[in-house]
């Protein structure tokens, strides 16, 4: 019984310490909201209004029709008509347009004859991802144009065609991919900052010594310190999940049990890592730096923005140490794919393992880390 | 008073003293050397290898319900492609299960009537399913599948000696980065992100350190002017920051094989301008914060995330909502990312370099004015 | 900001002869805001300090000493009032002030990662000392401070006393006309303090420098030509220290007893009507009467005789208003009957050492503490007190040797054993953003107090330590004296048998120190064993036994009397603890 009383007293004190401090209250509320909004709106790979230049040397109806297809697309915005070859280079070099569509002088004539008429696009390849996506959009506009043209002229289409369907995210909105990731990212940041500073703050104020000379056992201190991080993490996580569903309209297809089991285990590992950093640090500054040094690689190697499969093999092996990696799969699985608990077992146990190991190490460090 | 110098000589002597002291501290305290050199090195390696948008060997399920010569030639095309690592499935259910369990990222489904439809000239349908969770990757996968399919179609008709009834073909020329290597654009951008962080951290921490250790108080009661303190701090850390910058540029060029098409001197000049902005930002933070802890926290929050998200380094600015686009104009890294991507991949394109450099110059002037306004030789 | 050419200002200054005061403040006020509270650091202060003399600014922490000095150095702007430094307006012309003033801040303003020489060079550059005049000036300063052999040592590696002297040398590279020193002797050992004083006296005599220095040591006031008493932002008194003492003539007595405990005598006298203050002074009790007419108390078995007044007596009399007779200062400790023999050893330390890298923070120390004793660990900052203390509490493993507290090594002891000790950390560490009640509640809970018992103890703490008015305020926003009380209360929540108190009196004002010692005495009388560290040598007298530490080793140990006796000479029949310490150090240096 006394264990429960001790833990309760410690956890109450930790909560009060966090919530009564104006700055840490702000850390809990300010950055998550700002980041959620900025990430939600800024972090997208979707391209809208790609600035397009048109260089049309042909005066026929066919070329006008093709260009009107581009004009009608939400992805492109024609911002410049080019008259001469020499105008293309400064346009692309100066980043005024990402792409220039060049229609040759005899385009309409060829089309009328039923010949294949080539058009050319010049793409600014400085950002290869944008370039590739823009090219894909242009390609599908041309395909669409071809189908309509052939249909009207009664020509036979190609012998086969692709029927493309995307599962789980049929309109391929990157927001659906990024925002469930933010749930993981922000809960990690918040719990890490709370826990990574909790021991260091007490060390700096000398109150940690005071704690260690009381009859509290290291395990009790550990649990008492971990509990507030877990509770705040769950509240914060739930809030972000709510915003994702209500504000950003992200579908939540799986069951909440699978999601919250993942959240719990992830918080266990995040709190463990946070307390480990905290018990290694002597000052709050070291704690903050430690949290940052863990956070940056953890986010990059989690597959949050770029897929793990694209990384070199060595780096991929390293990602197995990153708890966020597993939680992101759980999040996206439950949100978009409706995955069940059984399907996600392989993600749950590594998080639990990381959590237990780091908590055990943190507990050991409490007593053995002395200056 | 005969043993005291005055006027210009005094200024010169005080500045020299400040700079020499800062250098000695830099050399003896590993933390600023670590921030200037180790931090960029580690971050660049981590990002350089960790962040890539180039999909290769995408696991793909090929479902062939009735194998024949036609299907064999199409699946052969997928197998030869560098972009895919195909696995054969004989029925769609098995392939769909593989998609659900993330064993494959896409399915190409040739139904049992594919061969005969194709021969009959009926418009045979090829089913393509991609996992759309990662929308960007899904789009890229889709593009690659389309590419393989179109090439196969072309070869097929060439082999049969008949013209492909395609009205318009799209030829493309990709300037600057024809191989479409994402690292070539990510790494110059990364240099901007990393140098924002290191530059601001360098000065943010060192001025705050003087406050914390109580030496600022001793410094302030000497006849030194406030601007001499600031310049004396800026010069050594500028040199240090430029050292870190050169290190990252060298790594980009030789470790990650990013071509450098612009001139080295343009790069150096614009980097110097940017370093001034980053150091100025750090200086301002530390003047306002006065404790290393707060200064470090603020420096990380106001530099790293905005530089990462709002600089156009990875996410395209023109696709963001207008309000967010307006905010990006306040992020100095935005201008430097544009300059670096151009200098590395395109060359010295003066209109662009000059426009962005003047934006950087303007920001650095604003910072200097703010610093001048905020820095008082007083303790309150 | 004004960028006035210092030389132009200089000539302007030189025209304005004769100067009357080195520093003058007229109606100067200054307030700060902290955590939404307005703190008045200085309240309409008027003062002048004379030329060519040492003026001492005396007052407890938070009295406004540092604010006053920063204002004089042009580092702060006053809210109201005029400040003239050597006839320069410090508000309008801070740069001009800064070129004629030398100022040493509390932590000496040294760059710890620079060597002694580099620190000197840096400050010489800032003060515009010509290259040609430097060698002579350096030689002079290094000789004066005795730092000659250490020029290539990093400032961070110097001892506290050496840092303080280097800080002084750096402010003197270009001889200032007014030298301002902010607590230059805080936390430094008595030998270094004495050396600093002789340097300062020399500067005043040889170079005619005016010096303003602040101190929390009341005995140092007597070395000043003029003393200014500052309390809660107001000047209480100003004058020559001798004049201060003179006002106390006829009110100061020394009481002594042939047998019995001097602590008993002290508490007895404290509550005697007419006694303003009763303090242990060496082997006797120093009494301050409310007025010269008050009849001297008569006690059986004790002799009371008049004594020459000191500065401290005047200070206490000025701060202590009316006598607070009958106040229940003593916390009621219901103690388990300790039916143990007198020589029951509660704490023993045998040949204990502690190494950090290849530096010995503590080497080969041994001592033991008996039940119900007040045992003191004395020494300057860095002498190894805190390291010893932390090892005893089980916070730091020993590198060698054995120690036991109530039969346990607390580092490995069960949680229950730790429940018998009370611990008060340095700087009164508490959860600063928790309220007083929340702090009490938390510490009571960690010691397993529950429900009714917990409520009772919290009520007791609020009562006995007079914390009730602060119950709902954040502990971090209380005055230091109250923080000390709260920390003490937290350490006593569970009625421990053994108390560990680490620097419990540093920084608090003399009155709070007296109250603290009164409480501690009561506890010791009730059988609680108290281990206490302090760097105030005069507090040695309150201990039953003590060790004096220096450089990680034990210099001497015993009762205060035993320690002092060998140093009694016909000229000084009653040496105080500080003189004894200096004699001990000198004795050690002569026989290495």
pLDDT digits (tens, 9 = 90+) for A267-318: 999 999 999 998 888 777 788 888 888 988 898 889 888 888 888 888 899 9
Q: Which residues of C touch B2 (CB under 8 A)?
A: 133
Would you give the end-to-end CA distance of chain A in angstroms?
A: 34
Both tokens assigned to C467? 């914390």
Domain end position, chosen among A148, A183, A208: A148
Q: Which residues of B touch A132 (CB under 8 A)?
A: 140, 143, 180
Q: Measure CA A364 to chain center.
A: 34
Same domain, A319 and A244: yes
Q: Read off the pLDDT of each residue in B92-115 and give the average, rounded to a whole number.
A: 88
Optimal mutation site among C125, C170, C175, C183, interface B, most CBs of chain B within 10 A: C125
**Inter-chain contact A209–C415, Cβ cutoff 8 Å?**
no
> DSSP letters of B289-314?
H-SHHHHHHHHIIIIIHHHHHSSSSS
Q: Is A27 inside any structural domain?
A: yes
Q: Is the pTM of this model over 0.90?
A: no
Q: Read off the pLDDT of each residue in B207-213 and give the average, rounded to a whole number.
A: 79
Same domain, A136 and A58: yes
**How near does any CA of chain B get to the CA of C6, in Å?**
8
Q: Which residues of C touch A206 (CB under 8 A)?
A: 425-427, 429
Beta carbons of C25 and C46 less than 8 angstroms apart = yes
Cα–Cα distance measured from residue B248 to residue B198, given in angstroms and rounded to the nearest whole number: 12
Q: Is A234 exposed, middle or buried (0-12, 13-18, 19+ CB in 10 A)?
A: middle
Instruction: Report pLDDT for B263.
Output: 93
Helices B332-345 and B182-212, packing angle to 10 deg: 140
Domain end position, chosen among A101, A132, A148: A148
In this model, does residue B294 exceed pLDDT 60? yes
Instruction: Tell me the torsion sign for CA atoms C13, C16, C18, C19.
Output: negative
Same domain, A62 and A37: no
Q: Alpha carbon of A270 to those of B151, B312, C372: distances in Å?
A: 49, 30, 48
Residues 6+ apart with CB under 8 A from C531: C347, C369, C375, C377, C389, C392, C498, C499, C500, C501
**How near does any CA of chain B get to the CA of A215, in Å?**
32
Q: Which residues of B touch A79 (CB under 8 A)?
A: none
Same domain, A200 and A313: yes
Q: Measure CA C325 to chain center.
A: 27
Q: Is C341 helix (H, G, I), strand (E, B) or coil?
A: coil
Q: Alpha carbon of A296 to those of A206, A308, B48, B194: distances in Å?
A: 30, 15, 13, 12
Instruction: Report pLDDT for B3.
Output: 66
Residue B233 at interface with chain C, using a CB cutoff of 8 Å: no
Instruction: Report pLDDT for C55.
Output: 93
Residue B25 at interface with chain C, using a CB cutoff of 8 Å: yes
Residues 6+ apart with CB under 8 A from C117: C151, C152
Q: Alpha carbon of C350 to those of A5, C347, C398: distances in Å?
A: 38, 10, 11
Same domain, A119 and A253: no
Same domain, A274 and A222: yes
Higher pLDDT: A99 or B121? It is: A99
Would you give the end-to-end CA distance of chain C in angstroms?
A: 56
Same domain, A119 and A191: no
Nearest CA in chain A to C416: A215
Q: Is A163 inside any structural domain?
A: no
**From B9, B24, B29, residue closest to C118, measured CB to CB:** B24
Instruction: Report pLDDT for B157.
Output: 76
Helices B182-212 and A128-153, packing angle to 10 deg: 150
**Inter-chain contact B28–C95, Cβ cutoff 8 Å?**
no
- Mean residue pLDDT of chain B comes to 86
Q: Is A83 inside any structural domain?
A: yes
Instruction: Report pLDDT for A55.
Output: 93
Domain end position, chosen among A100, A116, A148: A148
Optimal mutation site among C424, C446, C472, C496, interface A, most CBs of chain A within 10 A: C446
Both tokens assigned to A94? 């100066």
pLDDT digits (tens, 9 = 90+) for B331-345: 999 999 999 999 998
Beta carbons of B238 and B203 less than 8 angstroms apart = no
**Inter-chain contact A125–B321, Cβ cutoff 8 Å?**
no
Same domain, A208 and A332: yes
Q: Residue C540: name the closest of C563, C506, C571 by CA.
A: C563
**CB < 8 Å from A in window 476-505 of C:** 490, 500
Instruction: Report pLDDT for C12.
Output: 42
| Residues of chain A scoring pLDDT < 70 | 1, 155-160, 369-371
Whether the ipTM is more than 0.90: the answer is: no
Domain that holds residue A311: 2-43+172-368
Instruction: Report pLDDT for C329.
Output: 46
pLDDT, averaged in runs of 10, over chain C (592 residues): 38 48 89 75 88 88 85 90 89 87 87 92 91 92 89 86 90 91 82 88 89 85 88 86 84 80 76 80 82 77 83 80 45 44 77 85 90 87 83 86 84 78 84 89 88 90 86 81 88 90 81 84 87 85 88 87 84 80 78 52
**From B56, B165, B316, residue closest to A127, measured CB to CB:** B316
CATH classification at residue A135: 3.40.1710.10
Both tokens assigned to C368? 């033991």
Cα–Cα distance measured from residue B350 to residue B138, given in angstroms and rounded to the nearest whole number: 37
Give the number of other CB atoms < 10 A from CB of residue B86.
20
**CB < 8 Å from A in window 228-257 of B:** none
Q: Could you give the number of structural domains in chain A?
A: 2
Q: Alpha carbon of C362 to those of A244, C354, C386, C554: distances in Å?
A: 59, 5, 10, 9
Cα–Cα distance measured from residue C554 to residue C570, given in angstroms and rounded to the nearest whole number: 27
Q: Is A164 inside any structural domain?
A: no
Both tokens assigned to A40? 């939600």
Residues 6+ apart with CB under 8 A from C261: none
**How near does any CA of chain C get to the CA of A207, in Å?**
5
Instruction: Report pLDDT for A370.
Output: 56
**CB < 8 Å from B in window 2-61 of A:** 31, 35, 38-39, 41-51
Cα–Cα distance measured from residue C514 to residue C272, given in angstroms and rounded to the nearest whole number: 16
- Per CATH, the homologous superfamily of domain B58-160 is abc type-2 transporter like domain (3.40.1710.10)
Instruction: Report pLDDT for C334.
Output: 44
The domains of chain C, with CATH numbers, are 6-234 (3.40.50.300), 247-319 (3.30.70), 345-590 (3.40.50.300)
Q: Residue A271: name the closest of A351, A355, A346, A207 by CA.
A: A355
Both tokens assigned to A13? 């004190």
**Residues B214-224: b if buried by 16+ CB within 10 A, e if exposed:** ebbbbbbbbbb
**CB < 8 Å from C in window 209-228 of B:** 213-215, 217-226
Domain assignments of chain B as residue spans, ordered by start: 23-51+181-374, 58-160
């Amino acid at each position: 019984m006394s264990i429960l009383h001790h833990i309760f007293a410690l956890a109450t004190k930790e909560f009060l310490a966090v919530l009564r401090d104006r700055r840490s209250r702000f850390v809990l509320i300010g950055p998550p909201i700002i980041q959620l909004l900025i990430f939600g709106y800024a972090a997208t790979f979707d391209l809208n209004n790609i600035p397009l230049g048109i260089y049309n040397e042909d005066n026929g109806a066919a070329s006008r029709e093709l260009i009107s297809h581009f004009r009608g697309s939400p992805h492109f915005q024609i911002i410049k008509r080019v008259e001469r070859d020499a105008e293309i280079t400064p346009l692309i070099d100066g980043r005024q347009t990402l792409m220039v569509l060049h229609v040759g002088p005899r385009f309409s004539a060829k089309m009328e004859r039923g010949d294949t008429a080539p058009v050319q696009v010049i793409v600014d390849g400085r950002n290869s991802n944008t370039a590739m996506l823009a090219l894909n959009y242009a390609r599908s506009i041309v395909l669409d144009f071809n189908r309509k043209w052939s249909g009207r002229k009664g020509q036979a289409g190609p012998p086969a065609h692709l029927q493309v369907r995307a599962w789980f995210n049929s309109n391929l909105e990157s927001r659906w991919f990024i925002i469930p990731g933010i749930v993981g990212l922000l809960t990690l940041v918040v719990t890490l900052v709370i826990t990574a500073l909790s021991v260091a703050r007490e060390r700096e104020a000398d109150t940690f010594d005071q704690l260690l000379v009381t009859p509290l056992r290291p395990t009790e201190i550990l649990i008492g310190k971990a509990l507030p991080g877990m509770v705040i993490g769950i509240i914060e996580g739930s809030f972000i999940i709510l915003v994702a569903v209500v504000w950003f309209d992200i579908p939540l297809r799986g069951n909440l049990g699978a999601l919250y089991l993942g959240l719990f285990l992830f918080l266990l590992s995040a709190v463990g890592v946070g307390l480990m950093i905290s018990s290694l640090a002597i000052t709050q500054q070291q704690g903050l730096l430690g949290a940052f040094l863990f956070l940056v690689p953890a986010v990059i190697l989690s597959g949050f923005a770029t897929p793990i499969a694209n990384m070199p093999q060595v780096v991929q092996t390293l990602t197995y140490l990153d708890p966020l990696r597993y939680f992101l799969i759980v999040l996206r699985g439950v949100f978009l794919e409706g995955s069940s608990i059984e399907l996600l077992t392989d993600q749950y146990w590594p998080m639990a393992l990381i959590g237990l190991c780091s908590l055990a190490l943190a507990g050991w460090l409490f007593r053995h880390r002395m200056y | 008073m005969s043993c005291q110098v005055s006027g210009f000589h005094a200024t010169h002597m005080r500045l020299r003293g400040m700079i020499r002291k800062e250098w000695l501290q830099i050399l003896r305290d590993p933390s600023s050397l670590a921030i200037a050199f180790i931090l960029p090195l580690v971050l660049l390696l981590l990002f350089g290898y960790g962040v890539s948008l180039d999909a290769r060997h995408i696991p793909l399920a090929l479902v062939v319900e009735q194998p024949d010569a036609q299907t064999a030639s199409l699946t052969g095309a997928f197998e030869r492609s560098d972009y895919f690592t195909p696995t054969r499935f004989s029925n769609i259910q098995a392939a769909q299960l593989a998609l659900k369990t993330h064993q494959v990222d896409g399915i190409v489904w040739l139904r049992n009537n594919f061969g005969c439809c194709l021969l009959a000239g009926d418009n045979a349908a090829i089913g393509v399913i991609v996992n759309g969770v990662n929308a960007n990757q899904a789009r890229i996968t889709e593009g690659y599948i389309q590419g393989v399919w179109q090439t196969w179609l072309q070869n097929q008709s060439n082999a049969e000696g008949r013209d492909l009834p395609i009205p318009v073909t799209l030829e493309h020329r990709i300037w600057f980065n024809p191989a479409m290597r994402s690292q070539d654009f990510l790494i110059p951008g990364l240099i901007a992100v990393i140098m924002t962080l290191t530059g601001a951290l360098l000065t943010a921490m060192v001025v705050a350190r003087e406050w914390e250790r109580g030496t600022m108080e001793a410094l302030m009661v000497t006849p030194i002017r406030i601007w001499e303190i600031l310049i004396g701090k800026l010069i050594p850390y500028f040199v240090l920051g430029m050292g870190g910058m050169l290190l990252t540029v060298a790594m980009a060029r030789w470790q990650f094989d990013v071509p450098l098409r612009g001139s080295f001197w343009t790069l150096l000049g614009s980097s110097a301008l940017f370093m001034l902005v980053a150091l100025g930002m750090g200086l301002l933070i530390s003047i306002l914060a006065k404790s290393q802890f707060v200064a470090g926290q603020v420096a990380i929050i106001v530099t790293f995330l905005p530089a990462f998200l709002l600089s156009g380094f990875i996410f395209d600015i023109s696709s963001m909502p207008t309000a967010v686009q307006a905010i990006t104009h306040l992020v100095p890294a935005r201008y430097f990312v544009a300059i670096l991507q151009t200098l590395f991949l395109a060359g010295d394109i003066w209109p662009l370099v000059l426009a962005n450099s003047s934006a950087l110059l303007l920001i650095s002037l604003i910072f200097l004015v703010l610093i001048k306004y905020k820095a008082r030789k007083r303790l309150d | 900001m004004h960028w006035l050419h210092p030389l132009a200002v200089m000539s302007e200054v030189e025209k304005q002869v004769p100067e009357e005061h080195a520093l003058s403040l007229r109606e100067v006020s200054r307030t700060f805001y902290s955590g939404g509270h307005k703190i008045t650091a200085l309240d309409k202060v008027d003062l002048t300090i004379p030329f060519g003399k040492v003026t001492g600014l005396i007052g407890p922490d938070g009295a406004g000493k540092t604010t006053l000095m920063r204002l004089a150095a042009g580092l702060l702007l006053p809210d109201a009032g005029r400040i003239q430094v050597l006839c320069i307006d410090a508000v309008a012309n801070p740069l001009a002030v800064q070129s004629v003033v030398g100022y040493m801040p509390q932590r000496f303003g040294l760059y710890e990662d620079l060597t002694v020489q580099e620190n000197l060079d840096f400050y010489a550059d800032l003060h515009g000392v010509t290259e040609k005049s430097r060698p002579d000036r350096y030689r002079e300063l290094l000789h004066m401070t005795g730092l000659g052999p250490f020029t290539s040592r990093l400032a961070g590696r110097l001892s506290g006393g050496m840092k303080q002297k280097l800080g002084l040398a750096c402010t003197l590279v270009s001889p200032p006309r007014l030298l301002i020193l902010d607590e230059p002797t805080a936390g430094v050992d008595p030998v270094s303090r004495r050396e600093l004083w002789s340097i300062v006296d020399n500067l005043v005599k040889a170079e005619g420098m005016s010096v303003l220095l602040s101190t929390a040591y009341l005995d140092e006031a007597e070395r000043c030509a003029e003393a200014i008493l500052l309390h809660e932002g107001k000047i209480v008194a100003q004058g020559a220290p001798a004049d201060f003492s003179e006002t106390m003539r006829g009110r100061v007595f020394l009481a002594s007893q042939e047998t019995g405990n001097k602590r008993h005598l002290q508490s007895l006298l404290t509550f005697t009507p007419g006694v303003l203050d009763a303090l242990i002074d060496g082997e006797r009790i120093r009494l301050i009467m409310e007025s010269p007419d008050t009849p001297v108390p008569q006690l059986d078995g004790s002799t009371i005789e008049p004594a020459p007044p000191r500065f401290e007596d005047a200070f206490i009399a000025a701060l202590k208003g009316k006598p607070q007779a009958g106040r229940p200062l003593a916390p009621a400790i219901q103690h388990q009957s300790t039916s143990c023999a007198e020589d029951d050893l509660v704490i023993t330390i045998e040949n204990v050492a502690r190494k950090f890298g290849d530096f010995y923070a503590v080497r080969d120390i041994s001592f033991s503490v008996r039940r119900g004793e007040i045992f003191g660990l004395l020494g300057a900052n860095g002498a190894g007190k805190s390291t010893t203390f932390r090892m005893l509490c089980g916070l730091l493993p020993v590198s060698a040797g054995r120690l036991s507290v109530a039969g346990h090594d607390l580092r490995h002891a069960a949680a229950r054993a730790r429940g018998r000790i009370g611990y008060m950390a340095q700087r009164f560490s508490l959860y600063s953003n928790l309220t007083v009640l929340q702090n009490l509640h938390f510490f009571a809970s960690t010691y397993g107090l529950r429900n009714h018992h917990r409520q009772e103890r919290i009520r007791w703490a609020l009562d006995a330590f007079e914390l009730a008015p602060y119950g709902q305020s954040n502990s971090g926003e209380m005055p230091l004296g109250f923080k000390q009380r709260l920390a003490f209360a937290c350490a006593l929540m569970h009625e421990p048998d053994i108390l560990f108190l680490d620097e419990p009196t540093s920084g608090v004002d003399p009155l709070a120190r007296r109250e603290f010692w009164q409480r501690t005495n009561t506890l010791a009388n009730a059988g609680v064993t108290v281990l206490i560290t302090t760097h105030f040598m005069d507090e040695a007298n309150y201990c039953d036994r003590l060790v004096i530490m220096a450089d990680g080793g034990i210099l001497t140990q015993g009762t205060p009397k035993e320690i002092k006796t060998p140093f009694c000479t016909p000229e000084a029949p009653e040496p105080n603890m500080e003189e004894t310490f200096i004699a001990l150090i000198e004795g050690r240096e002569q026989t290495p």
